[in-house]
Amino acid sequence: MRATRRRFLKRSAALAAGISSLSVSAGGQTQALAGAPPAGQKPLVVNHDLHTHTLYSDGAHPIPLHILEGRAFELDAMAITDHFTPGSKIHDSEAEFDRYLSEIERERSGQHDLVVLQGAEATALDATGRISIDARHAARLEWVLCDLGGYSEGTLAKTPRDKTRYVENVLRTYLGLCDVPYLNVIAHPFNTGNTNPAALPDDYPRPLLRELAEKMAAKGKVFDVMNDTIYWFSRSGIAPRALTAQYVELMKVFVAAGVRFQASSDDHRTGLGNTRWSQIVMARAGVRQSQVVKPVQAK
Ligand SMILES: [Zn+2]
C-alpha cells in the first residue's frame, strides 16, 4: 500500500510537467482574488494543503478530525507534516512515530475523498544543510519538508549581526538542503523577517537566488508557498502588501527556473485549507499550472 502510493507520487511529480489544463470550476473566485491571468493562461487552480500540523506536534486537532475537515472542505490532497525536530514527539520516540504513521494510514484508508500524505516537517540544523531527520525515518514518509527554525544555527539561531552574511547563510543552507536526497519540500522559504536583523525578500541578491532556484529545479525540490507568511515578518514592520509585492518578485526567480510549487496553510494558526494568500501570490508570480505539485492517489 505504502510502496504503491510512493511510486505513484513520484510518477505524478514527473507527470506534473505534462499537465496543462485542469478543472476551472473555481475559476471565477480565483480570478477575482488574483486578478486576470496573463494572456492565454487559464486561472491557476490549487486545491491542496501540503503542510499541516496536528496534536502530534503543535497543531490544534487530532488526526481523525483533521482528515474529516480536509474531506469536508473538498480538498484534493493534504499532507500531514508534524514537526520532526529535537524535542518533538515523533522525533524523540520511535513508538510515537509508529503510532503517528499508523493513525494516518487508518484514517485515510477508510475514505476516497482525498489523498492524504504521511509527512513530516524537519528543520535545518546549520548552514551546511544538515537536517533533523535521517534517511531511515524519511524512507517511511511520503512528503518530507524542512524549514529554518530555532535550531537552525547561522540563520534563525545565532543570527549573524551582519545582514549580508545572514542572507548568504540562508542561501547556503537552502543550497545544502537541495543535496538531501530524501527531502521533498523547502517549507516557507525565506521566513527571515522576525530576526534581528530582519532579512526581507528584497534583501536577497538576485544572482544568488537564481543559483538556488536552478539547483532546486535540478534536484526537484518544491517551494512551499505558505499562507501565513506574514507571521514570519510580523516583527519586521513591513506592511503586509509590501511583503506580498516583494515575495511575488522573489518567487518569479523560482518560476523562471522551472521550480515546482505547493500551497499550504501550515495549519496550526490559520486553518486547514486556508491558502488564500498562497493562491494570490502564486498567480501574481506567474506560476504555471504545470509547476503545481499534484499528488494523486493510486485508487
Ligand atoms: Zn509547519
State the distance between the two ends of the chain, measured CA to CA, in whole angstroms.
11
- At 34 the pLDDT is 47
Report the separation in Å between the CA atom of 231 and the middle of ligand 1, taken as the mean of its atom positions: 12
Nearest to 286, CA basis, from 105, 64, 114, 42: 42
Domain extent listing, the chain: 2-19+47-291
Report the separation in Å between the CA atom of 146 and the middle of ligand 1, taken as the mean of its atom positions: 9
Binning pLDDT at 50, 70 and 90, where does residue 112 land?
A: very high
For 189-209, write each residue's pLDDT tens digit: 999 999 999 999 999 999 999
Report the separation in Å between the CA atom of 54 and the middle of ligand 1, taken as the mean of its atom positions: 10
Report the separation in Å between the CA atom of 147 and the middle of ligand 1, taken as the mean of its atom positions: 8
Report the separation in Å between the CA atom of 38 and the middle of ligand 1, taken as the mean of its atom positions: 32
Across the range 58-81, mean pLDDT stands at 96
CATH topology assigned to domain 2-19+47-291: TIM Barrel (3.20.20)
Binning pLDDT at 50, 70 and 90, where does residue 127 land?
A: very high
Report the separation in Å between the CA atom of 123 and the middle of ligand 1, taken as the mean of its atom positions: 10
Contact (CB, 8 A) for 72 and 64: no
For 14-29, write each residue's pLDDT tens digit: 444 333 333 333 333 3
Report the separation in Å between the CA atom of 40 and the middle of ligand 1, taken as the mean of its atom positions: 35
For 140-171, write each residue's pLDDT tens digit: 999 999 999 999 999 999 999 999 999 999 99
Return the amino acid letter for 181: P
- At 39 the pLDDT is 64
Mean residue pLDDT of the chain comes to 88
- How far is Cα of residue 135 from the mean position of the Cα atoms in its chain? 19
Residue 219 neighbours by CB under 8 Å, 6+ apart: 178, 179
